[in-house]
């Protein structure tokens, strides 16, 4: 190799380096470029090793040309390195939380309420809300349970002290059932009525199957010519839509003071589908009460029982939700203990 070949090779290296560095945008690529151009096995290093084979009078000059080229390359790499570090630093947000925050969801009671509302709205019911702090009269007297009537015992009511007793409406209570909305709705609007009243209810009971606060939904339909087959149709509709197409509704004779005739409503068991199993014993699970609105109740609501008839039903939300297929909770109190390990399962 002579001096000119040596200088040409250096110029080629410089030219190639210039063109390659102009397209580098990442730190990793820059590291590779560095080793390619000034690393131990780079073409430039190779040339530096060749100097000793050049004629003695050109060695110093060629050495200095090669070193200048090497320094140029080094300094350009350093400039780009600083630039890339600056950019990367600015991409880091030091205030960002390194941990992913857990995303919550609605409590299953809220979701059940939405689902039930939607099921009934599809067949023309509308949702109403009535007070949880209620008068005795709406919860009992207007429902054909006069003062001191023993039937009231079943409702385990919380009475509120220190509030004046109203002459007509009696004492203040925490409503023990959504049926207290029945006469309220009759006094609010004229028939036809198709209400679904969903609300918190309170009873003085706490054990594996009761919490002192729970939710009910109450259906009330009043129109001309309403009969039991309409009630059964609505119950069948609800049961297949809420529990599933393979589930059935059944009504059994019962007694409530505010409906006549009265029924208890069952849904076929989701495990054995009505055959009878360990969970349900006889194939059916009780989901609530229902019946044809008692004429006395219609009268309290200023509705003429000779002209109109109606049906009502009242179901517990927590109980019904837990009877949906695949959900088994052996202590209903867990629902309101706010233990996230329990709640996230739903």
Cα–Cα separations (whole angstroms), residue 254 to 143, 210, 247: 16, 21, 22
Q: What is the smallest separation between the CB atom of 219 and ligand PHE, expressed in angstroms?
A: 8
Binding site for ligand PHE (CB under 6 A): 177, 179, 218, 256, 259, 288-291, 312-314
Q: What is the smallest separation between the CB atom of 315 and ligand PHE, expressed in angstroms?
A: 8
Cβ proximity to ligand PHE, 98 vs 253, nearer residue: 253
Cα–Cα separations (whole angstroms), residue 168 to 12, 158, 165, 173, 229: 107, 19, 9, 14, 36
Helix count (H) and strand count (E) of the chain? 11, 10
* Cα-Cα-Cα-Cα dihedral sign, residues 133, 138, 144, 146: positive
Cβ proximity to ligand PHE, 144 vs 179, nearer residue: 179
Cβ proximity to ligand PHE, 42 vs 180, nearer residue: 180
Measure the CA angle with vertex 284, ends 198 and 143; round to 5°: 40
Q: Who's near 152: CB < 8 A, 6+ residues apart?
A: 140, 145
Q: What is the smallest separation between the CB atom of 134 and ligand PHE, expressed in angstroms?
A: 13
Q: What is the smallest separation between the CB atom of 162 and ligand PHE, expressed in angstroms?
A: 27
Cβ proximity to ligand PHE, 301 vs 314, nearer residue: 314
Cβ proximity to ligand PHE, 270 vs 288, nearer residue: 288
Q: What is the smallest separation between the CB atom of 238 and ligand PHE, expressed in angstroms?
A: 14
Alpha carbons 132 and 199: distance in angstroms, whole number: 7
Q: What is the smallest separation between the CB atom of 177 and ligand PHE, expressed in angstroms?
A: 3
Tell me if 297 sits within 8 A of 305, measured CB to CB. no
Cβ proximity to ligand PHE, 42 vs 141, nearer residue: 141
Cα–Cα separations (whole angstroms), residue 127 to 79, 109, 181, 186: 70, 16, 11, 14
Q: What is the smallest separation between the CB atom of 95 and ligand PHE, expressed in angstroms?
A: 53
Alpha carbons 280 and 212: distance in angstroms, whole number: 25
Which two three-digit tokens encode residue 200? 């918190």
Cβ proximity to ligand PHE, 274 vs 288, nearer residue: 288
- DSSP H or E stretch at residue 36: helix 27-38
Cβ proximity to ligand PHE, 87 vs 129, nearer residue: 129
Q: What is the smallest separation between the CB atom of 175 and ligand PHE, expressed in angstroms?
A: 10
Q: Report the SS3 class of residue 11.
A: helix
Pairing of strands 193-202, 126-128: parallel
* Cα-Cα-Cα-Cα dihedral sign, residues 237, 238, 244, 248: negative
Output 102-106 pairs: Cβ under 8 A, ≥24 positions apart: none
Which two three-digit tokens encode residue 141? 């007297």
Q: What is the smallest separation between the CB atom of 155 and ligand PHE, expressed in angstroms?
A: 7
Cβ proximity to ligand PHE, 300 vs 313, nearer residue: 313
């Amino acid at each position: 190799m002579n001096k000119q070949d040596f200088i040409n090779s250096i110029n080629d290296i410089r030219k190639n380096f210039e063109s390659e560095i102009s397209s580098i945008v990442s730190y990793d690529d820059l590291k590779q470029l560095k080793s390619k151009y000034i690393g131990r096995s780079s073409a430039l290093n190779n040339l530096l090793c060749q100097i000793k084979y050049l004629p003695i009078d050109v060695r110093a000059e060629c050495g200095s040309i090669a070193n200048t080229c090497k320094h140029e390359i080094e300094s350009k790499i350093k400039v780009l390195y600083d630039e890339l570090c600056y950019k990367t630093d600015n991409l880091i947000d030091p205030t960002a939380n390194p941990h992913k925050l857990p995303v919550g969801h609605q409590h299953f009671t809220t979701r059940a309420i939405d689902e039930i509302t939607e099921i009934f709205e599809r067949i023309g019911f509308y949702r109403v809300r009535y007070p949880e702090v209620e008068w005795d009269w709406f919860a009992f007297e207007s429902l054909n349970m006069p003062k001191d009537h023993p039937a009231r015992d079943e409702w385990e009511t919380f009475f509120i002290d220190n509030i004046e007793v109203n002459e007509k409406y009696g004492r203040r209570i925490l409503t023990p059932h959504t049926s207290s909305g029945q006469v309220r709705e009759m006094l609010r609007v004229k028939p036809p009525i198709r209400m679904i009243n969903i609300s918190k209810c309170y009873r003085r009971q706490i054990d594996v199957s009761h919490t002192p606060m729970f939710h009910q939904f109450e259906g009330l339909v009043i129109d001309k010519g309403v009969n039991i087959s309409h009630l059964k149709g609505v119950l069948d509709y609800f049961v297949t839509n809420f529990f599933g197409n393979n589930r059935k509704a059944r009504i059994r004779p019962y007694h409530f003071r505010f409906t006549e005739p009265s029924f208890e409503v069952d849904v076929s068991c989701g495990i054995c589908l009505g055959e009878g199993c360990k969970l349900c014993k006889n194939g059916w699970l009780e989901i609530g009460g229902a019946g044809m609105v008692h004429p006395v109740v219609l009268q309290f609501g200023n509705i003429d029982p000779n002209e109109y008839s109606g049906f009502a039903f009242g179901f517990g939300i927590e109980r019904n939700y837990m009877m949906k297929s695949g959900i088994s909770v052996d202590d209903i109190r867990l629902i309101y203990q706010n233990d996230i390990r329990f709640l996230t399962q739903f």
